[in-house]
Amino acid sequence: MFKSLLGITILALGLSAAAPQAASKDIVDTAVANGSFKTLATALQAAGLVETLKGDGPFTVFAPTDAAFAKLPAGTVESLLKPENREKLRRVLTYHVVAGKVDSKAVVKLTSAKAVSGDMVKINVKDGKVKVNDATVVTADVAASNGVIHVIDTVILPPGM
């Protein structure tokens, strides 16, 4: 089911036209099944965050696609995936996660949100597009059993990184 809200696509997975149902896959399995989040899945594994995001939640994840990771300077992803950079990688990834389920209707009313990393992310709506820091939400409200995913086109980095 697709609909548009402020120029962003809303994809509600796990819902039928007849009656709403809860999504059956958690955030990690939903992202993996999509096929556009291989780098994110690899990074979550390297950071030891897979089990956390498979937990009860709820979580809101601003999920960068493989194309978003590809926009980072050459060697950045490879460097972050090294065991010695695990804490830095954890901070980057948890900067993309907000505790609680924040759907698009709530997101557009916010100016900021506290990420699980402890840092604040800026949220604004400009020209009909939802921005999280410098990233644009390209698909919102991808339902998961333990939260919601908003797909973003750019990896956001915590302050000082």
Query: Would you mind telling me the total number of residues written for the chain in this entry?
Result: 161
- The fold adopted by the segment(s) 2-15+23-152 is FAS1 domain (2.30.180)
pLDDT grade for 12, boundaries at 50, 70 and 90: very low
Q: pLDDT, tens digit, for every residue of 86-139?
A: 999 999 999 999 999 999 999 999 999 999 999 999 999 988 899 999 999 999
Q: How confident is the model at residue 45 (pLDDT cuts 50, 70, 90)?
A: very high
Q: Residue 20: is its pLDDT beyond 90? A: no
pLDDT at position 127: 87
Q: How confident is the model at residue 22 (pLDDT cuts 50, 70, 90)?
A: low
Query: What is the spatial distance between Cα 105 and Cα 3, in angstroms, rounded to a whole number?
Result: 13
Contact 125, 108 (CB under 8 A): yes
Q: What percent of the chain has pLDDT over 90?
A: 80
Does residue 136 contact residue 6 with C-beta atoms inside 8 Å?
Answer: no
Instruction: Note the pLDDT of residue 13.
Output: 32
149: closest CA among 33, 45, 19? 33
No. of helices (H) and no. of strands (E), the chain? 7, 9
Q: What does the alpha-carbon distance between residue 62 and residue 147 come to, in Å, rounded to a whole number?
A: 11
Cis peptide leading into 159, omega within 30 of 0? Answer: no
Q: Which helix (H) or strand (E) holds 43?
A: helix 38-47
Residues forming a β-bridge with 23: none
pLDDT confidence band for 21 (50 / 70 / 90): very low
Residues 6+ apart with CB under 8 A from 32: 41
Average pLDDT over residues 19-28: 70
**Structure-token pair, residue 97:** 């996660």
CA dihedral 49, 81, 142, 55 (to 10 degrees): -10
Token pair recorded at residue 73? 């300077």
Confidence (pLDDT) at 19: 33
Q: pTM for this structure?
A: 0.84
Do 101 and 148 contact (CB within 8 A), yes or no? yes
Mean predicted lDDT score pLDDT of the chain: 87
